[in-house]
């Protein structure tokens, strides 16, 4: 056990003792009322947890990431200020953060593995300078890339062995479109 774990256990123990002591004094002689109050608060906490989980699951259908309107794609700005796109690569959906400061399409190792790329067999000969420092990259080709009505047979991309939460969509792909930012949305058209 490290010091943080011991401190957390001690803190939780003191918290349980304080709340338990208050409950014993408050509901002394009224055990039924105390159990009803405990059950009510338990249901409130479970309801809040279920509501949060439901919102997380439904958020993408309520607030769509991208919409096809005619021959253009409309992408709303996310709460973190970035734009996110989902591309179909070989029939699989891959989420990307739009990065106009990046040159290439860069896949995280996790996204590359989801696409069937054997990341352990890649030769990481390239380098990329990122906000997290220099990372090694391996060049691959993405086949059958689709964004709404637009299709590309084959595109170069890079897989990084660095720590990346998601994949980046750089200018190598974005230059294929006319790009416009209008308020809080990005519009891509060909």
Task: Give the pLDDT confidence of 3-27 residue by residue, as tens digits.
Answer: 788 888 988 899 889 888 888 888 8
In this structure, are 167 and 74 located in the same domain? yes
In this structure, are 132 and 161 located in the same domain? yes
In this structure, are 57 and 75 located in the same domain? no
In this structure, are 26 and 103 located in the same domain? no
- Which CATH number belongs to the domain containing residue 108 in this structure? 2.40.70.10
What is the span of the domain harbouring residue 48? 3-62
In this structure, are 90 and 177 located in the same domain? yes
Angle value at C-alpha 73, between 168 and 185, nearest 5 degrees: 75
pLDDT of residue 105: 93
In this structure, are 175 and 90 located in the same domain? yes
Domain count, the chain: 2
The string of pLDDT tens digits covering residues 77-95 is 888 889 999 999 999 999 9
pLDDT of residue 1: 63
pLDDT of residue 180: 93
| Alpha-carbon torsion (170, 171, 177, 178), positive or negative | positive
pLDDT of 60 higher than 70: no
What's the rounded Cα separation, in Å, for the pair 117 and 112? 5
Q: Please say which residue of 34, 62, 90 terminates a domain.
A: 62
In this structure, are 51 and 77 located in the same domain? no
pLDDT of residue 63: 54
The string of pLDDT tens digits covering residues 116-157 is 888 788 888 888 777 777 888 889 999 999 999 999 999 999
In this structure, are 44 and 97 located in the same domain? no
In this structure, are 53 and 71 located in the same domain? no
């Amino acid at each position: 056990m490290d010091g943080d774990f011991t401190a957390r256990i001690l803190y939780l123990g003191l918290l349980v003792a304080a709340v338990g002591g208050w409950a014993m004094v408050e509901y002394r002689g009224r055990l039924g009322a105390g159990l009803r109050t405990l059950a009510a608060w338990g249901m409130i906490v479970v309801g809040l947890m279920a509501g949060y989980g439901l919102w997380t699951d439904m958020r993408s259908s309520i607030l769509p990431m991208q919409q096809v309107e005619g021959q253009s794609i409309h992408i709303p700005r996310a709460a973190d200020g970035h734009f996110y796109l989902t591309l179909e690569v070989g029939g699989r959906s891959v989420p990307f953060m739009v990065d106009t400061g990046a040159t290439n399409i860069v896949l995280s190792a996790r996204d590359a593995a989801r696409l069937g790329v054997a990341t352990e067999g890649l030769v990481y000969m390239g380098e990329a300078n990122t906000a997290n420092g220099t990372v090694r990259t391996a060049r691959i080709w993405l086949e059958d890339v689709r964004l709404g009505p637009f299709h590309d047979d084959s595109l170069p991309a890079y897989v990084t062995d660095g720590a990346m939460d998601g994949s980046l969509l750089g200018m190598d792909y974005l230059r294929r479109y006319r790009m416009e930012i209008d308020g809080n949305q990005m519009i891509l058209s060909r």
